Structure 1
């Protein structure tokens, strides 16, 4: 007992050792287990197969003695599920990328606002957060604000007679040219519209279109003379009384013909206008007859001309062959639209950046001369927008005639040809040639919108 007392400090037997329960494992073991479990789940999820397999695929029992067909079918099903999972993962990455771009844009806008001067911040605040420098008033506020329609059941709305708000269209870029826009809208409602074509043209080039002026009457020329009956009006110079000349430097067509940078465009009795698109030289100059021969007789009925002569001669040539063509023209320094209308033709006042005002699959032919708008060559994203819009308005099988399009030699194969391929137009004819200026080339092409 003395030895036991010395060993244990008393005369009692030592208590038996306590047994650890299963939940009393060491912290290290639990941590290791959690680490293995977490990494296993991460590997399965990152492979793209985990969620899809759990959600979509319930593997059947594979019996090797059933032959290789069942095994192959099961493997194919698994592969299809994995492919779908990878596609979902790619879509998720794309959405994350889009969200990142939106967040970056928002942060850039916030940084720009924080870095603005006190005066600039006051102007932004005065615009109510919609970009206007000043609070809108008068005709501009009325033209941009909501309009109201009386709802009814016939048009798919409720039958209670409630009013629905409808907002007029206005180019978003108008907020950048508010000063010019307010001058343009400073007119007397119900009166005569001011003669300010130059201001309207400047607004349109700034992207502010369609223009919001709605409640005034355009002035009528004194002594207005109607165009001659067809076909005489197509090749007769309109009388000077067909135009209000107040907004233009020239006051008659004689002055316009002498001062115009468009060589002979307004001389319909002689000169190049009488011979345009009548002869095919096998190179850049196509004839209307050769182009129409690419389609069955009578299937080219309506079309659009983008910059095909400031005077509307292309539309006149097509009308002689029974084809109705609308001419897109911008009246800046000369009354182009009035001249075209006086020939008994139809014009639309749009710029090259404007979305074409036609419904999908409406036109049989679109002719684009020069730079797609009668002015400088359209390039870059603006050109791609225009080409896709041409594709939109063409019927399947419709023709796109690119006529003497100017570009540099490097852009022929590096920019324009790949862009036309992305749009999806099929080449029927393609010609290139040097221009008069250094490093300038011209492209003429006849392209077709596929049937499917």
Structure 2
């Protein structure tokens, strides 16, 4: 908070994120102006922006290991990407194929999930831990508005989401969702809510998702990861306590390269009851 009021804000993105991850939310407001990137270029117009990588000059790269988007794409292809966001900046690769089809395993398609609701009744929603915003882009193509929560973990995720013409929201799992009760039609989360989240934090997050969904709204739990013994012993009781009604539930062994023998993925479509 040491700065000249009315002047230029000192760079503190990395520090602010560290504080947020340790539960210091919300961060205090400041009366100063952040610098804009040099040579800023306006984003592509919709709908082209949904699948366009923005110009490097839309970002001030100082806090990050990579200094351009080409580096992030190559890093994803060779080393798994920043903080395991594999391929998520490569919009012409695997990211372009996500949620297009039911894969016979725990992967659901956007269209099959939308068909579970009356036509036109899924209009607004939230994607928790949505990376670079591809789920929101898929929904935008179907006239559904989705806000994406994402964190700038060694990459400009929020700016990338915004450049696509989508709405980013930088909050952590510990923070209460900034929505009133019963306002969203759908909440989605892929790979973020998994066994790495402490049980109490996970249960609190699930109750908060239940809170912001309208009656009849759905929570799409996408590729929840856990070990086999944990599923029925720990996580099914948590899901049941929250009070969702199961519409779809698919569990399957994790078959990724390097997976252990008893690792599992679970995907579920869970409805908030009407009464």
Shorter-normalised TM range: over 0.9
Give 1:271 shift. Answer: 0.9
1:264 to 81, 87, 95: 87
Kindly tell me: are residues 192 and 291 of structure 1, through their superposed partners in 2, closer, same or farther at Cα, counting changes over 3 Å? same
2:48 to 232, 249, 255: 232
3-state secondary structure, aligned to 1:421: helix
Is 2:117 aligned against 1:295? yes
- Give me the whole-angstrom Cα distance separating, in 1, the residues matched to 2:151 and 2:271: 27
- Give me the whole-angstrom Cα distance separating, in 2, the residues matched to 1:440 and 1:187: 49
- Give me the whole-angstrom Cα distance separating, in 2, the residues matched to 1:406 and 1:216: 42
Aligned pair count reads: 264
3-state secondary structure, aligned to 2:62: helix
Structure 2 counterpart of 1:167: none
Is 2:255 aligned against 1:432? no
1:442 to 241, 265, 268: 265
Once the two structures are superposed, the pairs formed by residues 29-48 of structure 1 within 5 Å of their partners are none
Kindly tell me: are residues 342 and 244 of structure 1, through their superposed partners in 2, closer, same or farther at Cα, counting changes over 3 Å? same
3-state secondary structure, aligned to 1:427: strand
Flag the structure with higher helix content. Answer: 1
Q: Scaled by the length of structure 1, what TM-score is found?
A: 0.57
Q: Tell me, which stretches of 5 or more residues in structure 2 are unaligned?
A: none
- Does structure 2 conserve the Cα–Cα contact (< 8 Å) formed by 1:197 and 1:332? no
- Does structure 2 conserve the Cα–Cα contact (< 8 Å) formed by 1:369 and 1:404? yes
Kindly tell me: are residues 189 and 332 of structure 1, through their superposed partners in 2, closer, same or farther at Cα, counting changes over 3 Å? farther
- Give me the whole-angstrom Cα distance separating, in 2, the residues matched to 1:195 and 1:370: 31
Is 2:5 aligned against 1:189? yes
- Give me the whole-angstrom Cα distance separating, in 1, the residues matched to 2:163 and 2:106: 30
Give 1:291 shift. Answer: 0.2
1:377 to 188, 193, 196: 196
- Give me the whole-angstrom Cα distance separating, in 2, the residues matched to 1:317 and 1:219: 32
Q: Which has the larger radius of gyration?
A: 1
- Give me the whole-angstrom Cα distance separating, in 2, the residues matched to 1:206 and 1:189: 27
- Give me the whole-angstrom Cα distance separating, in 1, the residues matched to 2:235 and 2:164: 35
Q: CA offsets, 1:75-132, max 9 Å, x none? A: xxxxxxxxxxxxxxxxxxxxxxxxxxxxxxxxxxxxxxxxxxxxxxxxxxxxxxxxxx
Q: CA offsets, 1:277-304, max 9 Å, x none? A: 0011232010000000010000000000
Structure 1 counterpart of 2:211: 392
Q: Tell me, which stretches of 5 or more residues in structure 1 are unaligned?
A: 1-184
Is 2:136 aligned against 1:320? no
1:208 to 9, 21, 24: 24
Structure 2 counterpart of 1:407: 226
Q: CA offsets, 1:123-151, max 9 Å, x none? A: xxxxxxxxxxxxxxxxxxxxxxxxxxxxx
Give 1:351 shift. Answer: 0.6
Structure 2 counterpart of 1:306: 128
Give 1:376 shift. Answer: 7.4
Give 1:190 shift. Answer: 1.6
3-state secondary structure, aligned to 1:365: strand
Flag the structure with higher strand content. Answer: 2
- Give me the whole-angstrom Cα distance separating, in 1, the residues matched to 2:3 and 2:66: 25
Structure 2 counterpart of 1:20: none
- Give me the whole-angstrom Cα distance separating, in 2, the residues matched to 1:424 and 1:338: 36
- Does structure 1 conserve the Cα–Cα contact (< 8 Å) formed by 2:150 and 2:168? yes
Q: CA offsets, 1:204-243, max 9 Å, x none? A: 1111011113212222112211211110000011111111
The one of the two structures with greater contact order (alpha-carbon pairs below 8 A, sep at least 6) is 2
- Give me the whole-angstrom Cα distance separating, in 2, the residues matched to 1:229 and 1:351: 30
- Give me the whole-angstrom Cα distance separating, in 1, the residues matched to 2:153 and 2:267: 27
- Give me the whole-angstrom Cα distance separating, in 2, the residues matched to 1:192 and 1:376: 42
